[in-house]
Structure 1
């Protein structure tokens, strides 16, 4: 039997696994749920049956029922969340802004400055610590350092909407949508420079050779993972531009790395060079103005504003939006006033 596993990475977290199994020529007829129990590590029969019910198991590119009997040379494709692992996350009574909750999913509006999950130098005070305190039995996944319920993530200093799964069934359902790139994720970003028109940034994104904390864009598929960001110009303010970014893929630092790659780093993004005056005049008055903007928004100007997906139980599209947080709104207002003042002087 040929067996070919590959990982589907959502923002490099290894949340889901994609398995492709070609059944051996000598395989006897066997129910597919029983067959997969012996082929997928740590998979219970219930977990397999849930995946089949949700259409996450295909045989010869077609969905099947749990009673289907595998035949020699069948090609089986499976998309599953990884099973639970023994990684302890300590619950903490931290405030979180829940935008929506039902039996299957949570939508949380994360504040800038809050780390999403425990990791190096951030073992407490994270969103996940708060989630395990406020909500019981969130599904946990191996290979991702105990991040119960997380379907995706956003950076510490990025604000906005996050989708959380409350059970394994919804996790499987959402995993397929992320794999198929049908989840809607739109971000508001303020970038340096005057973007001439709407556009798309693509490339293979991977760790920078010079600085492992930074992601770079490459032409070589051996150096990174394929990434796609579509952006639309919303408002031009002379030396900065407000844009909407829609993710087709979701890699680590994707929007931040993409915008720097095309010469328009995010405003106030220290990691990608946006915390310096990159456009504008040499006058001290302008320099002071920009420094004031940096003080108002001492983090990258990036906000996860829109989140849409097909609900696992309701089977209908749902869409959530988050208003710009006060720091982003204040910096934006200051730039608008500056632009108006300059025009009035002319």
Structure 2
């Protein structure tokens, strides 16, 4: 079914105070993101009292009649590809995916096909609305290519706006909850604590994230709990991490900064590769099969952007990590 352009009319109430036109429209049209409305204003799709408006800072007040023409969404640039997606939950507004390790979330240089976005476009089809004017899934947060686990994606502007606000708030005033399971070289001390150090793109290697001074970069906070010591000889630990912020590579960098990088992390734990020789034969073999950082997004909770219902999902540890854990436990003390 081809979607048609929409004409939306807003008549401001008589008791409203003058405010920027984009703010007034965002309040009156909650299902359309403010950034989308700003694009429509810039491109001449909004009229005030019959006159085209292009100035975002224009103040509108009581009784103003605003007409918004929302063009039909165009097809997304990424092509639709049929992928075997593990769908944990889906409704008209959003979809929760249990992402396998190795799957890239969004097309990027070197990964222009076979991504989660390609698969979602094929799966959702016409149910996708024009997020930003393009029919595509709204990526609210991401997982690294080699991190497995739970990911929520918006299917329309309303969901994208609501979910983005929750992730920006980091769960301070709502039910947003994210927890990861990681295997680390050594066990952080104390066994339960918080890592609070700022992060920024490395100046030496733009593909890496680095710890920076408190007055630089972005605030990054990780709460952790050592759940189990898995190998007495090398002291490999199973650590649960709860994110208070969600920065790129946050858990990997924070734990490496504390001297406990993730098993299999070739970017932040390369200096610990020789420790693998101290593992038992079975554990060494399973670590080789893993071939990635041992990190899994095991829990995701949030408020449904339309219904207000609290949704909470859990994902079991995937087989590659589970097999490694089993092999590591064979050397754990009785």
TM-score in terms of structure 2 length = 0.74
Q: Paired residue for 1:172, among 161, 185, 193?
A: 161
Q: For the structure 1 residues 141 and 158, does the alpha-carbon distance in structure 2 shift closer, same or farther, using more than 3 Å as the test?
A: farther
Looking at structure 2, the residues matched to 206 and 292 of structure 1 have their Cα atoms a distance apart, in angstroms, of 35
Matched residue SS, 2:332: helix
Detail structure 1 runs of 4+ shifted over 6 Å in the superposition. Answer: none
Looking at structure 2, the residues matched to 249 and 86 of structure 1 have their Cα atoms a distance apart, in angstroms, of 33
Q: For the structure 1 residues 113 and 232, does the alpha-carbon distance in structure 2 shift closer, same or farther, using more than 3 Å as the test?
A: same
Looking at structure 1, the residues matched to 219 and 270 of structure 2 have their Cα atoms a distance apart, in angstroms, of 24
What's 1:117 paired with? Answer: 106
Q: Paired residue for 1:261, among 257, 260, 263?
A: 257
Matched, 1:49 2:28: yes
Alignment check: 8 A CA contact 2:162 2:305 kept: yes
Q: For the structure 1 residues 261 and 229, does the alpha-carbon distance in structure 2 shift closer, same or farther, using more than 3 Å as the test?
A: same
Looking at structure 1, the residues matched to 203 and 222 of structure 2 have their Cα atoms a distance apart, in angstroms, of 23
What's 1:317 paired with? Answer: 310
Alignment check: 8 A CA contact 1:230 1:248 kept: yes
Matched residue SS, 2:220: strand
Looking at structure 2, the residues matched to 154 and 107 of structure 1 have their Cα atoms a distance apart, in angstroms, of 13
What's 1:63 paired with? Answer: none
Looking at structure 2, the residues matched to 50 and 334 of structure 1 have their Cα atoms a distance apart, in angstroms, of 55
Q: Paired residue for 1:221, among 196, 215, 227?
A: 215
Q: For the structure 1 residues 231 and 133, does the alpha-carbon distance in structure 2 shift closer, same or farther, using more than 3 Å as the test?
A: same
Matched residue SS, 1:339: coil
Deviation at 1:167, TM superposition (A): 1.2
Alignment check: 8 A CA contact 2:283 2:327 kept: no
Alignment check: 8 A CA contact 1:277 1:290 kept: no
What's 2:131 paired with? Answer: 140
For residues 31-110 of structure 1, what are the structure 2 equivalents within 5 Å? 35-37=19-21, 39=22, 45=25, 48-51=27-30, 88-110=77-99
Alignment check: 8 A CA contact 1:231 1:244 kept: yes
Would you say how many aligned residue pairs link Structure 1 and Structure 2? 277
Looking at structure 2, the residues matched to 168 and 315 of structure 1 have their Cα atoms a distance apart, in angstroms, of 16
TM-score in terms of structure 1 length = 0.71
